[in-house]
């Protein structure tokens, strides 16, 4: 059996997207998945379950914190919230990512010319 | 610690996660239902979108570092359950491992005790023993006289502090019967420099070790417990040592047994008290008695070069007496002073047994490897039976590494259970081996065999190694199965054959290792047999040896000769005694007498005539013995020319000698030596000796020696050096009745001459036998272990072929249905066997060629690459293997085509 690693994402991408989403507002797991799927116009095939190990990693590193709340639909949900360390980490990651993307784009553009 | 908090809070974490996922799915389902799906459909869809819930949970848990611990605990529980389910396999595996690990640990703990264990003293690495002159193989010899020690003590020179000691035996003489205990003479600085603190009261100090000191003694902890039951009333009481009362002043700490490995001390007394025990002629001022060992801590300020120079100066100061003649001075100046580390104790045992123990360690190591191979083979069969279970687990999402880990945990459980039992077994085995060695050597060896971290580390390492060896291959193989073939229940498919190929490797390596052991055992056995059957030149059977002790009997030097003569003639008269001889030493006793440089006029004249074959080693020393006329006939050494000594010879003072063939060839080449004269340096007066007889060569010091030049001189010509010769002459009695029946009459006869002469009995045959102790031990143990290896390899082979035959039962049935004969089926199976066997033998021979060289020194009369032994070993192994393989192969030919086809 293969690991169900369908995500063609580079390592850390999912974490980055989670942090970015949480920066707008605190959210629970389900809402997070739906948001990421929606904003990416379903371009990214994310297995919903794969979110939880990623969230756990962020929790462990202290980039997010979680607490149980009652949602607007009157459910008990575990809501995740960015910590100051998480904000700092996100900024760093985003700028790293942008620099990498720029590099890749340049090479790709050069290859076409 | 943060992770401990997390570990404790993990239940909370897990329940949070479960609830979170539950809520996630519920929300999704609700949304889908709201979108118009049926609840059932929505449930499936939600799960599909989410992925494998268990897997997600496990992945999430893995984020936290304690997961491996949890998984390990799970694996252990699963493993234990599995093992309980197959008690037969578990019992066999645990017992095999217990034996294998136990024996390995036993040998290792002996190695540890003899070679590795550091003394339980302060900074043992700084301690060095100082020795002068030649040091024998066990590190003995090289001791000092009391005046030398006192000089060193007062001017320690290269040492920052020094101490001295000497082992002895004290007689506690309780109630008339002698009771010997191990004693130690120590300098006053002994305990303080070693940094030992008393377990009770105080130890011997500098103030106790002064000339004319009172008799005081310190006890070892063990002796205190054993002899006094650890009572404090012992302190201050009097202890009789050789009938002199010594005051017990204190007890040494537990765990300190003295500096000698293989020995212990019960009672320690200051060196000065030797005067009290010696009585009239104390050793303390004697410049001829070398009896003290010295050691100390090296002055740390000295560089290596400085140390060497200072040692040279010290040697001159210590060893050369001021009144020495120029020649003496020159000779003494040549004697070097040596420093040897004492960190692991001083030992004569080490040189003697380290090689034996190292070879044994290698052999038992190989036996353990073979046992591991058998267990791996068993584990593989078990894994094959569990293919279905493993395939299902994988299908349910268990990763391969996780499964491998689980299977290995099972093996580790077996190994550690085995190791636990093995450690118990090891203590017992080591004690048994030590007992055998002690018995053979006629001395009680004391070794500290208690467990320490090094031994535990060793056990841990081999337990880990064995679990990997037996578990890795089966785990790797059995986790590489496809669900489909496994669940189809088709046992004869490719997976079964894969299992066979794995086992082929295992059995092949078993064959190879067994061959190596068999070759080693064969070499050692054949060497031993050759040594036993060796023509030693005298008749060892029915000769009783009686050792006298005239020193203890305090016989005056001028009375010695007459006393011996009297004893000899009285023993001759005993019924059952055929003849009696006496001599300074006996052959193959571990003692030798080296004579000085020999000169013969004939040698100078005929150097050009000498055949090269006789030129073995012109510098080789000449050895000899002082004998009575009865010696040669009693030992039945053939006289080739001339005559034996006579009683009349003992009355003359002219030099006479009987020489052996090698002596004659070396100093009287091509001549009849009888009647010729030779001179020997070193003998008092540089005497000339006339050869009266020529005897055949016979073994002198050891069975392994080459031809030695031997000269036998009459007993009356013993050099007149007081206290050196003639005090312990041995009597040889050729008997017509069992020697044990003669002990009492001999004692009675000797008592008739002098009451006080202590006697020790031995037989010549046993003395010769004892000299082969190492060889016998090795031959016996390696023979036994070789047979064990053979048996293990055969069980492995039998099991593997049986497995193969069962796997291919259907195939054989079909073949037979299609017309294959029983013969061709038999050939089919045997072909597999022969392939494995041939591969194993080839590998084994290659390993043997490389490895048996380490045995070189233990071999006799054959080389480490002896072809006969190799062929013999390979032959035995092949024969047994073919028999072990034939049984299952024959079963293959009994395959019933109908049964096989129905099964299909």
| Residues B263-280 pLDDT 10s | 889 999 999 888 887 765
Residue B23 touches chain A, beta carbons under 8 Å: yes
Sign of CA dihedral B633, B634, B638, B640: negative
Compute the distance between CA of residue A25 and CA of residue A18 in angstroms, rounded to an integer. 11
B686: pLDDT strictly greater than 60: no
**Which DSSP string do the residues of B567-623 spell out, in sequence order?**
HHHHHHTSTTEEEEEEESS-TTSS---EE--EE-HHHHHTGGG--GGG-S-TTPPEE
Mean pLDDT of B338-364: 84
Q: What is the pLDDT of residue B390?
A: 83
Shortest distance, CA A57 to any CA of chain B (angstroms): 6
Q: What is the pLDDT of residue B49?
A: 82
Q: What is the pLDDT of residue A39?
A: 85
| B281 sits in which H/E element | none
Residue A25 lies in a domain: yes
Residue A8 lies in a domain: no
Interface test with chain B among A3, A49, A68, by most B beta carbons within 10 Å: A49
Instruction: Tell me what percent of chain A is helix, strand and coil, each rounded to the nearest 5.
Output: 60, 15, 30
Q: Which of A6-10, B89-93, B305-309 has the highest mean pLDDT?
A: B89-93
Compute the distance between CA of residue A52 and CA of residue A71 in angstroms, rounded to an integer. 19
Residue A7 lies in a domain: no
Report CB contact under 8 Å: A76, B19: yes
Q: How far apart are the first and last CA of chain B?
A: 62
| Residues B388-416 pLDDT 10s | 788 888 888 778 888 888 889 999 999 99
Nearest-CB residue to A53 (from B49, B53, B60): B60
Residue A1 lies in a domain: no
What value does the mean pLDDT of chain B take? 84
Complex ipTM tops 0.85: no
| B340 sits in which H/E element | strand B337-341
Residue A105 lies in a domain: yes
Residue A24 lies in a domain: yes
Number of structural domains found in chain A:
1
- Chain B neighbors of A48, CB-CB under 8 A: 24, 28, 49-51
Question: Residue B724: helix, strand or coil by DSSP?
Answer: coil
B339: pLDDT strictly greater than 90: no
Q: Between A25 and B898, where is the model more confident?
A: A25
- The residue count of chain B comes to 904
Compute the distance between CA of residue B110 and CA of residue B428 in angstroms, rounded to an integer. 12
Burial class, A70, CB count within 10 angstroms (exposed 0-12 / middle 13-18 / buried 19+): exposed
- Chain A neighbors of B23, CB-CB under 8 A: 28, 30, 75-78
Report CB contact under 8 Å: B60, A75: no
Q: Write the CATH number for A59.
A: 1.10.10.10
Neighbours of B550 (CB within 10 A): 21
Q: Between B500 and B22, where is the model more confident?
A: B22
Compute the distance between CA of residue B295 and CA of residue B853 in angstroms, rounded to an integer. 37
Q: What is the pLDDT of residue B615?
A: 46
Shortest distance, CA B450 to any CA of chain A (angstroms): 47
Domain interval for residue A67: 13-112
Closest CA to B186 of B298, B272, B286, B123: B272
Tokens of A44: 């990214």
A43: pLDDT strictly greater than 60: yes
Q: How many residue contacts between A and B have a Cβ separation below 8 Å?
A: 65
B668: pLDDT strictly greater than 70: yes
Residue B480 touches chain A, beta carbons under 8 Å: no
Rg (CA), chain B: 38
Q: What is the pLDDT of residue A78?
A: 87
Residue B28 touches chain A, beta carbons under 8 Å: yes
Residues 6+ apart with CB under 8 A from B527: B775, B779, B858, B859, B860, B861, B862
| B536 sits in which H/E element | none
Compute the distance between CA of residue B585 and CA of residue B305 in angstroms, rounded to an integer. 44
Residue B50 touches chain A, beta carbons under 8 Å: yes
- Chain B neighbors of A53, CB-CB under 8 A: 56, 59-60, 62-63
Report CB contact under 8 Å: B28, A30: yes
Mean pLDDT check: name the lowest of B223-227, B328-332, B541-545, B744-748. Answer: B328-332
Backbone angles phi, psi at A69, to 5 degrees: -135, 175
Residue A6 lies in a domain: no
| B76 sits in which H/E element | helix B67-85
A1: pLDDT strictly greater than 70: no
Q: Which of B348-362, B563-577, B745-759 has the highest mean pLDDT?
A: B563-577
Number of H helices, E strands in chain B: 30, 22
Structural contact between residues B625 and B681, judged by C-beta atoms closer than 8 angstroms: no
- Chain A neighbors of B35, CB-CB under 8 A: none
Q: What is the pLDDT of residue B138?
A: 43
Block residue for tokens 């197959």: B86
Question: Residue B767: helix, strand or coil by DSSP?
Answer: helix
Q: What is the DSSP code (8-state) at residue B78?
A: H
Block residue for tokens 């060793």: B458
Structural contact between residues B164 and B332, judged by C-beta atoms closer than 8 angstroms: no
Compute the distance between CA of residue B89 and CA of residue B385 in angstroms, rounded to an integer. 13
Q: What is the DSSP code (8-state) at residue B553?
A: T
Q: What is the DSSP code (8-state) at residue B19?
A: H
Burial class, B7, CB count within 10 angstroms (exposed 0-12 / middle 13-18 / buried 19+): middle
Residue A3 lies in a domain: no
Looking from the CA of B408 toward its CB, the CA atoms found within 13 Å total 18
Q: What is the pTM of this model?
A: 0.74
| Residues B747-786 pLDDT 10s | 999 988 887 788 888 899 988 988 888 888 888 888 888 8
């Amino acid at each position: 059996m293969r690991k169900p690693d369908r995500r063609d994402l580079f390592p850390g991408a999912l974490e980055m997207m989670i942090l970015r989403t949480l920066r707008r507002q605190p959210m629970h797991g389900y809402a997070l998945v739906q948001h990421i799927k929606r904003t990416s116009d379903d371009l990214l095939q994310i297995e919903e379950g794969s979110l939880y190990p990623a969230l756990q990693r962020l929790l462990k590193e202290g980039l997010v914190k979680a607490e149980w709340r009652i949602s607007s639909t009157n459910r008990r949900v575990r809501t995740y919230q960015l910590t100051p360390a998480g904000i700092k980490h996100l900024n760093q990651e985003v700028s790293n990512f942008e620099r990498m993307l720029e590099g890749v784009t340049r090479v790709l553009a050069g290859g076409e010319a | 610690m943060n992770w401990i908090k997390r570990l404790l809070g993990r239940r909370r974490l897990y329940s949070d996660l479960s609830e979170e996922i539950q809520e996630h799915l519920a929300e999704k389902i609700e949304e889908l239902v709201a979108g118009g799906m049926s609840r059932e459909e929505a449930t499936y869809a939600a799960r599909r979108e989410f992925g494998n819930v268990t897997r997600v949970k496990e992945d999430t848990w893995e984020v936290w570092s304690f997961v491996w611990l949890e998984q390990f605990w799970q694996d252990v529980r699963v493993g234990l359950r599995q093992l309980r389910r197959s008690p037969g396999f578990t019992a066999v595996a645990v017992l095999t491992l217990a034996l294998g690990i136990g024996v390995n640990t036993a040998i290792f703990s002996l190695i540890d005790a003899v070679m590795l264990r550091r003394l339980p003293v302060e900074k043992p690495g700084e301690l060095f023993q100082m020795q002068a002159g030649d040091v024998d193989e066990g590190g003995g010899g090289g001791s000092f006289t009391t005046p030398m020690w006192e000089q060193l003590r007062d001017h320690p020179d290269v040492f920052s502090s020094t101490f001295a000691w000497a082992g002895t035996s004290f007689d506690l003489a309780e109630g008339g019967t002698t009771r010997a205990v191990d004693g130690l003479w120590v300098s006053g600085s002994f305990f303080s420099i070693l940094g030992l603190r008393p377990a009770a009261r105080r130890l011997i100090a500098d103030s106790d070790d002064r000339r004319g000191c009172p008799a005081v003694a310190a006890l070892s902890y063990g002796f205190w417990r054993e002899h006094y039951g650890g009572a404090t009333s012992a302190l201050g009481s009097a202890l009789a040592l050789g009938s002199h009362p010594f005051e017990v002043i204190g007890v040494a700490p537990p765990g300190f047994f003295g500096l000698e490995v293989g020995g212990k001390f019960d009672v320690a007394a200051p060196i000065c008290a030797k005067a009290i025990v010696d009585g009239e002629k104390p050793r303390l001022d004697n410049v001829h008695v070398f009896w003290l060992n010295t050691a100390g801590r090296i002055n740390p300020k000295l560089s290596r070069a400085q140390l060497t120079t200072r040692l040279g100066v010290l040697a001159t100061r210590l060893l050369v007496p001021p009144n020495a003649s120029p020649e003496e001075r020159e000779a003494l100046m040549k004697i070097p002073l040596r420093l040897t580390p004492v960190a692991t104790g001083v030992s004569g045992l080490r040189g003697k047994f380290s090689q034996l123990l190292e070879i044994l360690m290698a052999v038992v190591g190989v036996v353990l490897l073979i046992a591991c191979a058998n267990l791996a083979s068993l584990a593989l069969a078990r894994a094959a039976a569990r293919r279905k279970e493993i395939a299902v687990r994988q299908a349910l999402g268990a990763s391969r590494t996780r499964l491998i880990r689980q299977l290995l945990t099972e093996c580790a459980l077996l190994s550690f259970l085995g190791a636990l039992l093995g450690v118990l077994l090891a203590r017992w085995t080591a004690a048994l081996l030590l007992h055998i060695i002690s018995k053979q050597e006629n001395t009680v060896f004391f070794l500290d065999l208690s467990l320490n971290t090094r031994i535990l580390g060793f056990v841990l390492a081999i337990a880990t190694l064995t679990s990997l060896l037996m578990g890795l291959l089966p785990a790797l193989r059995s986790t590489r199965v496809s669900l489909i073939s496994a669940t189809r229940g088709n046992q004869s498919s490719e997976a079964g054959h894969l299992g066979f190929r794995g086992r082929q490797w295992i059995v092949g390596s078993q064959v190879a290792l067994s061959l190596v052991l068999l070759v080693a055992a064969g070499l050692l056995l054949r060497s031993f047999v050759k040594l036993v059957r060796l023509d030693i030149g005298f008749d060892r059977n029915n000769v009783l040896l009686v050792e006298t002790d005239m020193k203890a009997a305090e016989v005056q030097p001028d009375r010695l000769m007459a006393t011996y003569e009297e004893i000899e003639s009285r023993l001759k008269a005993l019924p059952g005694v055929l003849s009696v001889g006496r001599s300074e030493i006996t052959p193959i006793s571990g003692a030798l007498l080296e004579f000085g440089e020999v000169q013969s006029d004939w040698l100078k004249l005929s150097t050009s005539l000498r055949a090269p074959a006789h030129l073995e080693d012109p510098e080789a020393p000449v050895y000899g013995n002082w004998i009575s006329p009865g010696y040669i006939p009693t030992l039945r050494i053939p006289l080739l020319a001339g005559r034996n000594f006579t009683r009349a010879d003992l009355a003359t003072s002219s030099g006479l000698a009987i020489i052996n063939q090698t002596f004659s060839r070396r100093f009287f080449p091509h001549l009849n030596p009888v009647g010729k004269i030779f001179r020997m340096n070193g003998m008092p007066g540089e005497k000339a000796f006339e050869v009266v007889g020529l005897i055949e060569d016979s073994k002198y010091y050891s069975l392994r020696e080459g031809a030695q030049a031997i000269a036998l001189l009459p007993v009356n010509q013993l050099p007149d050096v007081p206290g050196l010769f003639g005090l312990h002459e041995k009597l040889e009695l050729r008997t017509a009745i069992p020697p044990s029946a003669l002990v009492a009459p001999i004692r009675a006869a000797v008592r008739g001459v002098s009451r006080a002469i202590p006697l020790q009995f031995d037989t010549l045959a046993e003395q010769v036998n004892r000299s082969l102790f190492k060889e016998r031990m090795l031959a016996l143990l390696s023979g036994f272990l070789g047979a064990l290896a053979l048996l293990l390899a055969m069980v492995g082979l039998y099991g593997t072929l049986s497995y193969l035959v069962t796997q291919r039962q259907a195939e054989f049935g079909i073949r037979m249905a299609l017309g294959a004969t029983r013969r061709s089926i038999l050939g089919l199976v045997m072909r597999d066997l022969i392939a494995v066997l041939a591969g194993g033998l080839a590998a084994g021979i290659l390993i043997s060629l490389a490895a048996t060289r380490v045995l070189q020194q233990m071999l006799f009369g054959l080389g480490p690459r002896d072809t006969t032994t190799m062929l013999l070993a390979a032959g035995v192994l092949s024969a047994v293997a073919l028999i072990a393989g034939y049984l299952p192969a024959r079963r293959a030919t009994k395959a019933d085509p109908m049964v096989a086809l129905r099964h299909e």
